[in-house]
Amino acid sequence: MNRAPRVVVADDQALVRTGFRLILDAHGIEVVAEATDGAEAVDAVRRTRPDVVLMDIRMPDMDGLEATRRILKEVGDADAPRVVMLTTFDLDHYVYAALAAGASGFLLKDVTPEHLVAAVRTVRAGDALLAPAITRRLVERFARRAPETASLHRDLAALTPRELDVLRLLAQGLSNAELATGLHLSEATVKTHVSHILAKLSLRDRAQAVVVAYETGLVSPGAPREDATGGEVPA
């Protein structure tokens, strides 16, 4: 995709919407619509078909979590935009619920302009926005506390033993480079394994894969992190 990303900004604070629009416009990223609550965000996505939605979690009437569920359900996986949740807390329990609902990551509202622009381009390219270690912290903190959000259970029987190894280590916070080194594979091969995992489990990105690894019991909250050779490493 060579064209610039098209973005919807949904936040009930006018200053946040205006600030994000100015930053994105300055970097050639088009803000095609703004929304002040979840219902407006859903309508804006229907009308404008953006690539990315920057979605505040806490909004009046319909919050960002419900709006995310509706957008991803109504639009369908093939055409759905990538949703990035906006929050003021890096371990807000709603972030975990948003990942389970299909969001591709989250941003703190005090994000730097450079990080905001990079985030939009990252998720538009199909990558999850969360670093694996951050995802792991979120899941470990909330996986046992929010059973009502466990909507991503999948049968892991479709995965090969190698794919299970990759998923287990991915969920424990290892990057593709660390996986490649420890499993004696190329990064390209690791990326292929990750792609196969996502396809077999009908997941949008590796953020959801991490959630699934915990919710299916492949990895247990609080378990020591391992390196790719099976040794423990500091959390």
- Token pair recorded at residue 77: 């996986």
Instruction: Say what the pLDDT of residue 33 is.
Output: 98
Q: Does this model's pTM top 0.85?
A: no
| pLDDT for 150 | 46
What is the spatial distance between Cα 10 and Cα 150, in angstroms, rounded to a whole number? Answer: 25
How far apart, in whole angstroms, are the C-alpha atoms of residue 142 and residue 94? 9
pLDDT value, residue 18:
96
Domains recognised in the chain with CATH numbers: 6-129 (3.40.50.2300), 155-235 (1.10.10.10)
The gap from C-alpha 204 to its chain's centroid, in whole angstroms, comes to 8
pLDDT of amino acid 153: 53
**What distances in angstroms separate CA 187 from CA 49, 88, 127, 181, one per listed residue?**
33, 34, 15, 8
**For the purposes of burial, counting CB atoms within 10 Å of the CB of 21, is it exposed (0-12), middle (13-18) or buried (19 or more)?**
middle
**pLDDT in the model for residue 151:** 46
10-residue stretch averages of pLDDT, the chain, 235 residues long = 87 95 96 97 95 93 91 75 84 70 82 91 78 61 53 74 92 80 91 92 80 80 54 43
Handedness of CA 122, 55, 212, 199 (dihedral sign): negative
